[in-house]
Structure 1
Amino acid sequence: METMRNLSFLVTTLTIAMSISTTLSQSSVQNFLNCLSHSHVSEIIHTPNNNSFSTILNMKIRNKKFKTPTTPKPQAIITVKDGNHVQTTIKCAKSNNIQIRIRSGGHDYEGFSYVSDVPFVIVDTLHLNSVDVNLQEETAWVGSGATLGKIYYTISKKNNSLAFPSGVCFTLGAGGHFSGGGYGNLMRKFGLSIDNIIDATIVDVNGNILDRKSMGEDLFWAIRGGGGASFGVILSWKLKLVQVTPQVTVFNVKRNVSDGATDVVYKWQLIAPKLHKDLFIRAQPNVVQIEQGGKKTVQVSFIGQFLGSVEKLLPLVSESFPELGLKKSECISMPWLNSTLFWYDLPIGTPLETLLDTPKDPQPTYLKFKSDYVKKPIPKEAIETIWKKMIEGESLYMQWNPYGGRMEEILSSETPFPHRAGNLFLIQYINTWVEDSPEAIDRHVNFSRSFYELMTPYVSNSPREAFLNYRDADIGANRPSNVTKIDIARTYGKKFFKGNFEKLVSVKAKVDPDNFFRYEQSIPTRS
């Protein structure tokens, strides 16, 4: 009887506590909205009561996992249009203990930029999308919400010999992509995006709008590869543009395992990082069906780009990589801007204006992505084992992106992004599917994890390195997100940043000592 009374008392207490917590939460949210409504921000607030709310929220959700009725929704989406809007939002969120998530392109594989397990609002930068090119300086100021497609198009239309080294997916938003590194097919020639960024503007936790001079070199260092969302809301970036040839040459050569693809891949590991800086060749293993009966094999696409003509490319490949068997008929010359559509796997002749298309509400798929760095060639026997494992799955494929060139020349401490010299290539593991059943979701996620486990002997270790922009909660995450434990942060932080993690923590402690800007894999303060 006494036990029953104690149990009843405990349940009642918990119910009251939860009710009080919910009431306080709702009160904080209402106070936050009232705070915003008394300012000029009111016209760009979208709450669940607005017809626009679902459209804006879903516009950039690409992982179907985060498009379910049970997915936590923001209390509001603030589609900021200028620095004043951001300042007001930060002030009102701080005073009411509301968490902020910052979204630009929405290509966050784990949804950290638009999902949280505590009351939160989204600051969406889609309207901060200006691209202002200065031809005399060969620079451009771009807003955090500008897509790579708009950036590429605007730069090239001003001068088709100017470009910017950045990602292949042109619907990426500049804000998150740049602050995590900015990885693309010009990196062997020019490095990452962050290696070509010379200024930025950010709204800090105190509501100050800072540029490189006023924020100081430590914070400017941190936001170029350390993830901007740990330190503030980045409004814009100043890019130092690069010179490219009027025409580039691209190709996509496919080789099946039965045609000797394993030997070609093995040789690719040895030479791809040592090729001329002007040549970038990605190896992309994929499972294909070769017979009506359903027999599957692995096909490897060798997708390349050369800053120059076919006539210069062919002798270079013939001498260094004859195993590829590249033919003139497999090569296509085009302006650099057109090549950005080729890399997105769009048909030749696709209008360049496609780069300007506003991302629509996508039809999302479920996805699980992971990453690895390879420092020693994977033996042929192991490659064969990898192919067999791929065929066991249903939809996993990989992108192997070569290092070398400019990436070898930049010190690992120059930016927070530490994965420089000593790497042969970066692997991105890509698994997407459409089935909704819990069994299918578990099957695919578990296969991704087992495949990652299989790769353990062939990739970096102590730590097993990972790329910040290829979000993967499996390597460590703080949950709930309003409690940041430094030992957990150190687990993922060492994989993302290696020896740069402690400096990032020091910068964080200086600019955001109360850890207002946080998410599941953010940089912590020391306490």
Structure 2
Amino acid sequence: MDTIWKLCFLMATLTIVLSNSTTTAKSPIQHFINCLSHSLVSEVTYTPNNTSFSTILNIKIQNKRFKTATTPKPLAIITVKDDSHVQETVKCAKSNNIQIRIRSGGHDYEGCSYVSDVPFVILDMFHLNSVDVNLQESTAWVESGATLGKIYYTIAKKSNKLAFPSGVCFTVGAGGHFSGGGYGNLMRKFGLSIDNIIDAKIVDVKGNILDRKSMGEDLFWAIRGGGGASFGVILSWKLQLVPVTPQVIVFDVKRYVSEGATDIVYKWQLIAPKLHKDLFIRVQPNVVQIGQEGKKVVQVSFIGQFLGKIERLLVLLSKKFPELGLNKSDCFSMPWINSTLFWHDKPIGTPLEALLDEPKDPQPLYKKYKSDYVKKPIPKEAIESIWKLMIEGEDLFMQWNPYGGRMKEILPSETPFPHRAGNLFLILYINIWSNESSEVSELHMNFSRSFYEFMTPYVSNSPREAFLNYRDADIGANHPSNVTRFGIAKTYGSKFFKGNFERLVSVKTKVDPENFFRYEQSIPTKIIVKVILNDQNKSHM
């Protein structure tokens, strides 16, 4: 009998040991999945074992550079459908030390919202996409997964006299666009998106849902331009809608270099930031082919929007910018909502429902973006050299977006976005190609960098400023992304935020002291240096 008891005890002990060994052997992702509720796992969580995993992952990837076989894949994708799902995901990821990437529209130029070099999961926000407009207050609550197109469409369905200043690409998600600053063709009249946001809801590192009152003014300041993903998960934004005229005027005047485009561009630099704030004119140089032999030349598009009537616009430009040669036949009058389709290169007359379209499969294109700020007019000789270099590269084009107006009236410290007065225009460099070979990709990437280097004498310096929404890993990035080196962070932070960087660090240290919310270009926590004095130093005190 005693032998039987000993045998039973041995078997029980062995069972416990085996059970503990099995538990210990579980990977962090298994612990993470086990931490989530059954409904969350069964309804909105996708792992590589799910047949829909690749579809869910790829449908929001807008840049094929991050859609290759060698691109790191998430351990899981959680397509949250309500606020509690976000809270649960944050709590379980933190308790299991798993990095999360927060994706709303998938337009992050360096893929930071859906790619990491350490094990990670994607918190996908696209189901959280409601837009609730309050006409009495002229406000709207917008969830992070809502696209700009849906926001515009919903506002217009309520009123043709209200709008919101943000981007021209209507498939962009509100979460990342607004938290990085957000700008568009209404910025000279009304400022950036963040200048018109009056409240927000965020899930913090503890899983709490906070609004402006409960998060405090420091955190509310930080997420409007400092990048929300450094501080938590933005659930929604409250927008202050702005008044627009029932009809706006748009135009797209194209001029070849042989038609005097260089002189027109030079004059544009001098007057575009000084024009009436109702008028926004973007300069977009492109390389095109003409003639039977396909000669490559530069053609410049002057794309404009005016909040007013054609007659007033023509008088204004005949006085201030006659070199453009704008004619009445170049102009189209339409409601503001229709202009959002015009700016997205949609044919005039495109149904408004196109604003709700989302690409079922993003275009198979590889892309590299960079940005710059210009404070002094670029000389004509340099502009001519720019055209020659563009022709060499063939696939690189630019967008030059004018400042002035409301942008120079807002203090650089009012939000984390510091690029206000003193700038003539913002440059976006765009390089797009379709060839899949690594050699071709390397060629294009190197050309983008050499073009950027060529522009050094003509743009801002000390620091050379950059726009957070135009993500560019070349200006500094932490690798691996689970280790945030303060020196590297200060390098890119000073370019994105200038003098606002230190305040962002202080807010980050306060709300996320363990630096859970981090990625390659996130805001770091403050370094605390302890100075230990030896006895000799003490004796001299």
State the TM-score, normalizing by the size of structure 1.
Answer: 0.95
Secondary structure of the corresponding residue to residue 101 of structure 1:
strand
Paired with 1:168 and 1:142, the residues of 2 have a C-alpha distance of: 17
State the TM-score, normalizing by the size of structure 2.
Answer: 0.92
Paired with 1:156 and 1:294, the residues of 2 have a C-alpha distance of: 43
- CA shift digits 1:236-271 (9 cap, x unpaired): 000000000000000000000000000000000000
Give, in angstroms, the shift of residue 81 of structure 1.
1.3
Tell me what 2:5 maps to.
Answer: none
- Corresponding letter in the other structure for 1:233: V
Give, in angstroms, the shift of residue 364 of structure 1.
2.6
Paired with 2:229 and 2:235, the residues of 1 have a C-alpha distance of: 11
Tell me what 1:14 maps to.
Answer: none
- CA shift digits 1:409-462 (9 cap, x unpaired): 000000000000000000000000001111111110110000000000000000
Aligned partners of 1:25 and 1:119 also within 8 Å: no
Aligned partners of 1:41 and 1:85 also within 8 Å: no
Paired with 1:26 and 1:442, the residues of 2 have a C-alpha distance of: 40
Paired with 1:292 and 1:105, the residues of 2 have a C-alpha distance of: 41
Tell me what 1:94 maps to.
Answer: 94
Give, in angstroms, the shift of residue 82 of structure 1.
1.5
Tell me what 2:515 maps to.
Answer: 515
Tell me what 1:446 maps to.
Answer: 446
User: Residues 154 and 285 from structure 1, CA distance in 2 versus in 1: closer, same or farther, beyond 3 angstroms?
Assistant: same
- Corresponding letter in the other structure for 2:377: P
User: Residues 295 and 26 from structure 1, CA distance in 2 versus in 1: closer, same or farther, beyond 3 angstroms?
Assistant: farther
Paired with 1:440 and 1:361, the residues of 2 have a C-alpha distance of: 23
Secondary structure of the corresponding residue to residue 146 of structure 1:
coil
Secondary structure of the corresponding residue to residue 493 of structure 1:
helix
- CA shift digits 1:149-189 (9 cap, x unpaired): 00000001101100000000000000000000011000000
Secondary structure of the corresponding residue to residue 27 of structure 2:
helix
Aligned partners of 1:61 and 1:364 also within 8 Å: no
Tell me what 1:193 maps to.
Answer: 193
Aligned partners of 2:375 and 2:423 also within 8 Å: yes
Point out where structure 1 has 5 or more consecutive residues left out of the alignment: 1-22
Paired with 2:71 and 2:37, the residues of 1 have a C-alpha distance of: 27
User: Residues 92 and 62 from structure 1, CA distance in 2 versus in 1: closer, same or farther, beyond 3 angstroms?
Assistant: same
Q: Does 1:370 align with 2:380?
A: no
Paired with 1:236 and 1:128, the residues of 2 have a C-alpha distance of: 9
RMSD: 1.1
Paired with 1:514 and 1:221, the residues of 2 have a C-alpha distance of: 21
- Corresponding letter in the other structure for 2:107: H
- Corresponding letter in the other structure for 1:220: F
Tell me what 1:133 maps to.
Answer: 133
Secondary structure of the corresponding residue to residue 386 of structure 1:
helix
- Please say which of residues 352-361 and 180-189 is displaced more in the overlay: 352-361
Aligned counterparts, 1:267-306, within 5 A: 267-306=267-306
- Corresponding letter in the other structure for 2:67: K
Secondary structure of the corresponding residue to residue 36 of structure 2:
helix
Q: Does 1:184 align with 2:184?
A: yes
Aligned partners of 2:256 and 2:299 also within 8 Å: yes
Tell me what 2:466 maps to.
Answer: 466
Give, in angstroms, the shift of residue 311 of structure 1.
1.2
- Corresponding letter in the other structure for 2:126: L
Which structure: larger Rg?
Answer: 2
Secondary structure of the corresponding residue to residue 488 of structure 1:
helix
Give, in angstroms, the shift of residue 60 of structure 1.
1.1
Aligned residues: 505
Identity across matched positions, percent: 82
Poorly superposed stretches of 4+, deviation over 2 Å:
23-26, 37-42
User: Residues 395 and 24 from structure 1, CA distance in 2 versus in 1: closer, same or farther, beyond 3 angstroms?
Assistant: farther
- Corresponding letter in the other structure for 2:360: K
Tell me what 1:35 maps to.
Answer: 35
Aligned partners of 2:33 and 2:41 also within 8 Å: no
Point out where structure 2 has 5 or more consecutive residues left out of the alignment: 1-22, 528-541
Aligned partners of 1:250 and 1:333 also within 8 Å: yes
Secondary structure of the corresponding residue to residue 69 of structure 1:
coil
Paired with 1:209 and 1:105, the residues of 2 have a C-alpha distance of: 22
Aligned partners of 1:46 and 1:53 also within 8 Å: yes
Tell me what 1:457 maps to.
Answer: 457
Tell me what 1:357 maps to.
Answer: 357
Secondary structure of the corresponding residue to residue 510 of structure 2:
helix
Aligned partners of 1:36 and 1:42 also within 8 Å: no
Tell me what 1:13 maps to.
Answer: none
User: Residues 62 and 26 from structure 1, CA distance in 2 versus in 1: closer, same or farther, beyond 3 angstroms?
Assistant: farther
- Corresponding letter in the other structure for 2:489: A
